C-alpha cells in the first residue's frame, strides 16, 4: 500500500512546480520547431533565450509565491486551487508579453519569447501544474480507500441530486462502494451516460441484480413518483437490497451533502402522494395582513398550520395551547425560521372561557383555525367527561367568542371518526361540528369544517408507535388483521385545510380525498422489513384485539351523506342532514351534565344528540 506523507515540506512543491514549468518551456520550443531543431537552430535560439531565462524563472517563482499556489493541500486539490493556478500562470504570461514588448522596442529589437512559444508555454505550464496535483490526488485517494470488497450501488435518479450523490460517494474514502449505474423514471435516458456511468430504465433493477449484483440503492429524486418508488422498494425488499435516500436540499451545506446524511427510507416516504396544487393567490388574499388564531398550536396539525400560514405574510399569528414545553420548542423553531413574522405565544386552555375571552378581546383575531382537541380513542372512551369538556365545551367557547368578536372565518379541524362514530371521541367531534354548523347563519362569522383521516407522524399515531416498538425489539402490536386506515402527511393535511378554508362560504363540511386505505398489518410488516429485520426471526408481530371504541374501517362520509365536487380534485363538500335548532339545547345540557352525572349518562346524552353514534367493542354498547 502506498504511504502518503501528510507533512511534505512546501519547498518540495515549489521545486516540483519549478521543474514542471521548465519542462513546459522546453516543450513549447520543441512544438515550435516540430521536434526537428538542428544544432545551428538550437544555438541561435539559445543565444536569444539565455538573456531572458533568468527573468523567466524569477517571474514564475515570484508570481506563484504571491498567488500561494504552493499552500494548498495537493491531495485535496479543489476548483478553487485550479482557479488560483490559472490566474498565476496567466499573470506570468501577461508579464512575459509586456516584457517582450519592452525588450523589442527599447533594448535589442527581440521579443522575450516568440508569440507561439508564449502561447504554448501558457497552456503547457497550466496543464503540467494542474496535472501533477491531480496525479497526487488520485494516488492519495487510491492509497486511502478501503480495501474491503466494494459494494455495487445504483443511484435512483439521473438528475442534479443523483449527480451530487455520485460525487459524494466517490469522494468518501471511508466507504467501499462502486457506482455501477443510474436508474431513472425517464426511459428516454436509457443508454446514455452521466460522468461515465450508464443510465438504465427504472424497471431494470431485477435484471441488474441478476447479472451484475446490486447491494445498495440510493434514492436521489426529491419528488419521485410514489407508485414507482413503492414498486422499487418492494423489489429491493424482495431481493434483500439495502435502500437509502438523499437528504432534503435545505440540509445541504454549500450545495453538497455528506454520505453520513444518507438515511433509511421511511414508511412516510411510501404513503405520500403527488404534491398538492393550491390556489395561492386566493389563500394569500385571505390571510395576508390578518390576525390569525390557531388553537392546539403546539400539536401536529396546529404547528403544521402555523408553518403554512407564516408563508402568507399575516399581520400576527396567535399560537394558543395549554402544553407549555411543546409550545416553547415550537417558539424557538419559528423565531429562527420565520424571524419576519409577528408571533404571539399564549398559554391557555380552550375550556377556560374567561381566558379565551381575554385573548379575543385583546387580539381580535379575524381567522380562527381550531385544532385543539383530545383525539386518542381508548383514553376518551374511558374518560368521556374530558372529551366533552375539551372537544365540545372548548369548541363551543371558541365558536361563541368568534361570533361575538365577529371573526371572518372559523375553520374547525375535525376527523373521519366523526362519521358514524363508534366511540366517544368521534361523537364529541361530531357534536362540535353540529354546534358550529347551526351557528353559521347567526352572525357575520363563516364556520367551515374540515375532515380527514390519520396523519402520518402526528403525535400518538400508529407509525411512531410501531417505530418505538421496532427500536425496542418488539413485539409490534396490531389490534386486528382486518383493520384499515387512510393516511395523509402533515403538510398535505394542512395545505388542504388552508385551501378548504379559503373556498368555504360557511356551513360546509369539507372532506379530503385520503387516497387508498392501508391495511395496518401490512404497514407494520413493511416497516419491519425497512428496518432490516426479518419478521418471526428478529422481531415478533402480535395481534392484541380491537381497543374500546375502535373501528375496523374508517369512513369519511356517513351513509346519509353524499358529496359535491369543488374546483380542487382532492376536496369535496359533504351534503349533510339539516341540523335541528333543538340540538343547541341538548348540547348545552350535555355540558352542564358533566358536574353531577356518571359516564354512562353522559354517553347516553351524546347518543341522543348523534343518533348514528353506535358504540363498538365498548361498555357503552348496552346503550344502543
Catalytic residue list: 417
How many Cα neighbours within 13 Å face the side chain of 430?
Answer: 28
How far apart CA 73 and CA 594 sit, in angstroms, is: 75
Distance from C-alpha of 119 to C-alpha of 25, rounded to nearest angstrom: 10
DSSP conformation letters of 420-437? S--SHHHHHHHHHHHHHH
Half-sphere exposure of residue 400, counting CA atoms within 13 Å on the CB side? 15
Contacts of 287 (CB under 8 A, 6+ apart): 309, 312, 313, 314, 367, 498
168/166 Cα distance (integer angstroms): 5
Strand 518-519 with 454-456, pairing: unpaired
Q: Write down the H helix ranges in 115-155.
A: 115-144
Q: Give dist(CA 211, CA 205) in Å, integer.
A: 10
Q: Which of 283, 319, 269 is nearest to 299 (CA)?
A: 319
How far apart CA 111 and CA 102 sit, in angstroms, is 8
Contacts 24+ apart (CB under 8 A), 38-44: none
Report H helices in 172-323. 205-211, 226-239, 267-271, 280-287, 300-309
- The answer to whether 412 and 394 are in contact (CB under 8 A) is no
Query: Is-contact 409 368, C-beta < 8 A?
Result: yes
d(CA 546, CA 548): 7
Cβ-in-10-Å burial (0-12, 13-18, 19+) of 119 comes to middle
- Sign of the CA dihedral running 416, 422, 423, 424: positive
Residues sharing a CB contact under 8 Å with residue 494, sequence separation 6 or more, in sequence order: 301, 304, 305, 307, 308
Report the alpha-carbon distance of residue 388 to residue 610 in Å, rounded: 13
- Indicate the SS3 state at residue 515: coil
* Distance, CA of 218 to CA of 244 (rounded, Å): 5
- Bridge-based pairing of strands 263-264 and 177-184 is unpaired
Please provide the size of the chain in residues. Answer: 624
CB 349 within 8 A of CB 324: no
- Burial class of residue 291 in the structure, from the number of CB atoms within 10 Å of its CB (0-12 exposed, 13-18 middle, 19+ buried): middle
For the chain, the first-to-last Cα distance in angstroms comes to: 81
CB-hemisphere CA count at 13 Å for 557?
19
Amino acid at each position: 500500500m502506498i504511504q502518503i506523507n501528510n507533512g511534505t515540506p512546501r519547498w518540495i512543491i515549489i521545486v516540483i512546480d519549478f521543474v514542471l514549468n521548465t519542462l513546459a518551456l522546453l516543450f513549447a520550443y520543441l512544438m515550435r520547431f516540430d521536434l526537428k531543431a538542428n544544432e545551428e537552430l538550437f544555438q541561435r535560439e539559445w543565444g536569444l533565450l539565455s538573456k531572458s531565462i533568468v527573468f523567466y524563472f524569477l517571474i514564475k517563482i515570484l508570481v506563484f509565491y504571491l498567488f500561494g499556489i504552493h499552500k494548498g493541500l495537493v491531495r485535496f486539490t479543489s476548483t478553487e486551487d485550479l482557479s488560483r493556478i490559472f490566474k498565476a500562470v496567466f499573470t506570468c504570461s501577461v508579464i512575459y508579453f509586456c516584457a517582450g514588448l519592452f525588450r523589442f522596442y527599447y533594448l535589442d529589437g527581440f521579443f522575450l519569447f516568440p508569440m507561439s512559444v508564449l502561447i504554448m508555454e501558457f497552456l503547457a505550464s497550466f496543464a503540467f501544474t494542474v496535472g501533477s496535483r491531480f496525479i497526487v490526488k488520485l494516488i492519495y485517494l487510491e492509497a486511502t480507500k478501503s480495501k474491503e470488497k466494494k459494494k455495487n450501488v445504483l443511484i435512483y435518479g439521473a438528475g442534479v441530486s443523483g449527480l451530487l450523490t455520485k460525487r459524494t460517494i466517490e469522494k468518501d474514502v471511508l466507504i467501499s462502494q462502486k457506482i455501477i449505474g443510474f436508474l431513472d423514471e425517464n426511459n428516454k435516458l436509457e443508454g446514455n451516460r452521466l460522468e461515465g456511468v450508464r443510465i438504465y430504465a427504472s424497471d431494470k433493477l431485477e435484471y441488474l441484480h441478476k447479472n451484475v449484483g446490486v447491494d445498495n440503492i440510493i434514492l436521489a429524486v426529491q419528488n419521485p413518483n410514489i407508485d414507482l418508488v413503492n414498486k422499487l422498494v418492494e423489489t429491493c425488499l424482495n431481493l434483500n437490497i439495502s435502500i437509502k435516500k438523499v437528504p432534503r436540499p435545505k440540509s445541504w451545506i454549500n450545495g453538497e451533502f455528506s454520505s453520513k446524511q444518507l438515511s433509511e427510507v421511511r414508511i412516510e416516504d411510501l404513503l405520500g402522494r403527488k404534491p398538492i396544487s393550491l390556489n395561492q393567490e386566493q389563500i394569500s388574499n385571505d390571510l395576508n395582513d390578518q390576525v390569525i388564531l390557531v388553537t392546539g398550536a403546539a400539536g401536529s396539525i396546529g404547528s403544521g398550520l402555523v408553518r403554512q400560514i407564516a408563508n402568507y405574510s399575516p399581520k400576527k399569528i396567535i399560537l394558543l395551547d395549554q402544553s407549555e414545553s411543546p409550545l416553547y420548542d415550537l417558539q424557538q423553531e419559528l423565531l429562527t425560521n420565520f424571524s419576519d413574522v409577528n408571533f404571539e405565544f399564549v398559554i391557555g386552555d380552550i375550556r377556560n372561557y374567561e381566558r379565551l375571552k381575554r385573548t379575543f378581546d385583546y387580539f381580535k383575531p379575524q381567522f380562527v383555525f381550531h385544532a385543539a382537541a383530545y383525539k386518542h380513542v381508548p383514553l376518551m372512551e374511558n374518560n368521556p367527561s374530558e372529551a366533552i369538556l375539551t372537544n365540545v365545551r372548548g369548541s363551543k367557547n371558541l365558536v361563541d367568542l368568534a361570533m361575538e368578536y365577529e371573526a371572518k372565518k372559523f375553520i374547525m379541524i375535525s376527523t373521519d371518526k366523526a362519521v358514524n362514530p363508534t366511540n366517544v371521541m368521534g361523537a364529541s367531534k361530531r357534536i362540535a361540528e353540529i354546534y358550529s354548523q347551526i351557528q353559521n347563519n347567526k352572525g357575520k362569522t363563516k364556520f367551515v369544517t374540515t375532515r380527514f383521516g390519520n396523519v402520518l407522524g402526528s403525535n400518538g399515531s400508529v407509525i411512531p408507535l410501531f417505530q418505538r416498538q421496532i427500536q425496542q425489539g418488539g413485539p409490534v402490536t396490531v389490534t386486528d388483521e382486518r383493520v384499515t386506515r387512510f393516511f395523509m402527511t402533515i403538510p398535505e393535511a394542512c395545505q388542504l385545510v388552508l385551501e378548504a378554508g379559503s373556498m368555504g362560504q360557511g356551513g360546509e363540511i369539507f372532506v379530503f380525498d385520503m387516497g387508498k386505505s392501508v391495511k395496518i398489518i401490512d404497514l407494520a410488516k413493511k416497516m419491519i422489513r425497512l428496518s432490516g429485520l426479518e419478521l418471526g426471526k428478529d422481531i415478533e408481530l402480535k395481534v392484541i384485539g380491537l381497543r374500546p371504541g375502535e373501528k375496523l374501517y374508517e369512513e369519511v362520509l356517513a351513509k346519509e351523506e353524499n358529496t359535491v365536487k369543488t374546483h380542487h380534485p382532492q376536496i369535496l363538500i359533504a351534503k349533510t342532514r339539516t341540523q335541528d335548532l333543538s340540538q343547541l339545547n341538548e348540547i348545552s345540557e350535555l355540558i352542564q351534565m358533566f358536574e353531577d352525572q356518571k359516564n354512562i349518562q353522559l354517553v347516553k346524552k351524546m347518543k341522543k344528540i348523534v343518533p348514528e353514534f353506535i358504540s363498538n367493542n365498548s361498555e357503552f354498547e348496552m346503550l344502543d
